[in-house]
């Protein structure tokens, strides 16, 4: 297997995007999967790299990347050394990043040699599921969508983030990272950008208008994004396929760092369901 790690491309907002590509050597015409991490996430979190290897072994060209403003850097793509950049992140920047990655896939000569870019799917985990849903609806190059423990609404999360008036007055609010104990800052521009682009950023609108195959996977023990949100997505897109994994939590029993050689059982089940769906 070939794994090209930490490739760097230019984002549209003065920050680089760091990419990994995993595939089996000497194969061609591989279908492409692009994976979008979630809030307070990164491409190397937990067992995502093992997951990438499993998809590559199954005959996919698997691409995962760090959103340009996720708080990582080229030198330190894991965790959050750059909280100032994190504070300037927003949903439209993440959509721009995903567009940049898709453009890179379609225009990269090395990818063209091994992959069939006309068979490109998106997987989005958690907040990344919302980003992937919106992009899948608006970009005809995407042929399949997989919502993995995905959120179904950005607006309610905005309203629940903090006291909006206090946020406006101070210009910043903080969210604790339970693992690293960092105070993760959000500048008020995050809310302003959402309100200015609310129609585009409405996941219900995007999912209701999808005309491509859509798989929704969620754990019934997810306490971060309740399984009700998967039911919402399925109701808005009745042609979608809903798979509930019983006993699974938000990260399908993975954690960070993941030091075992095999995927946790629930995440392994996720991979098998996605491969069966794409096949």
Give the three-state DSSP class for 204. Answer: helix
Q: Which domain holds residue 50?
A: 2-153+199-278
Quick one: average pLDDT of 87-105? 98
The CATH number of whichever domain residue 44 belongs to comes to 3.40.50.1820
Separation CA 29–CA 143 (nearest Å): 15
**What pLDDT is attached to residue 102?**
98
Count of Cβ atoms closer than 10 Å to residue 241 Cβ? 14
Q: What rounded mean pLDDT belongs to the chain?
A: 97
Measured CA angle at 197 (ends 231, 150), to 5 deg: 25
Kindly state whether residue 136 falls inside one of the protein's structural domains: yes
The DSSP annotation for 238-259 comes to TTSEEEEETT--TTTT--SS--
Kindly state whether residue 140 falls inside one of the protein's structural domains: yes
Kindly state whether residue 191 falls inside one of the protein's structural domains: no
Separation CA 194–CA 31 (nearest Å): 33
Quick one: average pLDDT of 121-139? 98
Count of Cβ atoms closer than 10 Å to residue 113 Cβ? 8
**In this prediction, what percent of the chain has a pLDDT beyond 70?**
100
**What pLDDT is attached to residue 158?**
80
- Read off φ and ψ for residue 194, nearest 5 degrees: -60, -50
Separation CA 279–CA 277 (nearest Å): 6
**What pLDDT is attached to residue 197?**
98
Instruction: Give the CA distances from residue 120 to residues 57, 60, 140, 170, in Å, rounded to whole numbers and listed in that order.
Output: 17, 10, 10, 43
Kindly state whether residue 186 falls inside one of the protein's structural domains: no
Quick one: average pLDDT of 177-189? 96
Q: Cβ contacts of residue 252 below 8 Å, gap of 6+?
A: 149, 219, 245, 264, 266, 267, 269, 270
Quick one: average pLDDT of 238-267? 98
Q: Cβ distance 54 to 271 under 8 Å?
A: yes
Quick one: average pLDDT of 239-260? 98
Quick one: average pLDDT of 246-266? 97
Confidence class for position 162, pLDDT limits 50, 70, 90: confident
Strand partners, 137: none
Kindly state whether residue 14 falls inside one of the protein's structural domains: yes
- Checking if the pLDDT of 145 tops 80, the result is yes
Residue 156 CB-half CA count within 13 A = 9
**What pLDDT is attached to residue 27?**
93
Positive or negative, the CA dihedral 91, 223, 275, 111 is positive
- The 10s digit of each residue's pLDDT in 31-85 is 999 999 999 999 999 999 999 999 999 999 999 999 999 999 999 999 999 999 9
Kindly state whether residue 192 falls inside one of the protein's structural domains: no
Element (DSSP H or E) covering residue 235: helix 227-236
- Cis? peptide before 132, omega within 30° of 0: no
Separation CA 103–CA 82 (nearest Å): 26
Kindly state whether residue 189 falls inside one of the protein's structural domains: no
Kindly state whether residue 179 falls inside one of the protein's structural domains: no
Quick one: average pLDDT of 134-139? 98
**What pLDDT is attached to residue 178?**
93
- Overall pTM surpassing 0.95 (yes/no): yes
Separation CA 123–CA 166 (nearest Å): 35
Separation CA 174–CA 60 (nearest Å): 39
**What pLDDT is attached to residue 159?**
75
**What pLDDT is attached to residue 182?**
97
- Checking if the pLDDT of 161 tops 80, the result is no
As for how many domains the chain has, the answer is 1
């Amino acid at each position: 297997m070939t794994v090209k790690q930490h490739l760097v491309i230019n984002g549209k907002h003065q920050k680089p995007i760091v990419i990994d590509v995993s595939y089996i050597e000497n194969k061609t015409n591989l279908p492409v999967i692009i994976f979008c991490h979630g809030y307070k996430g990164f491409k190397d979190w937990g067992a995502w790299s093992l997951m990438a290897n499993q998809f590559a072994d199954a005959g996919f060209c698997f691409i995962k990347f760090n959103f340009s403003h996720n708080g990582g850097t080229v030198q330190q793509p894991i965790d959050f050394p750059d909280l100032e950049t994190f504070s300037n992140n927003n949903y439209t920047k993440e959509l721009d990043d995903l567009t940049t990655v898709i453009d890179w896939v379609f225009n990269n000569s090395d990818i063209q040699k091994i992959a069939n870019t006309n068979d490109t799917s998106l997987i989005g985990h958690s907040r990344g599921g919302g980003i992937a849903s919106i992009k899948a609806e608006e970009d005809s190059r995407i042929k399949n969508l997989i919502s993995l423990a995905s959120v179904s609404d950005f607006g309610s999360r905005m309203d629940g983030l903090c006291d909006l008036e206090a946020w406006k007055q101070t210009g910043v609010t903080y969210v604790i990272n339970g693992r690293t104990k960092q105070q993760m800052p959000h500048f008020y521009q995050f809310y302003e950008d959402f309100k200015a682009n609310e129609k585009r950023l409405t996941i219900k609108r995007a999912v209701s208008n999808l005309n491509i195959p859509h798989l929704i996977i969620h754990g019934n023990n997810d306490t971060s994004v309740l399984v009700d949100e998967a039911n919402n997505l399925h109701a808005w897109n009745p042609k979608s396929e809903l798979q509930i994994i019983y006993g699974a939590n938000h990260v399908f029993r993975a954690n960070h760092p993941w030091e075992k050689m095999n995927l946790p059982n629930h995440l392994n089940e996720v991979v098998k369901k996605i491969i069966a769906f794409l096949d």
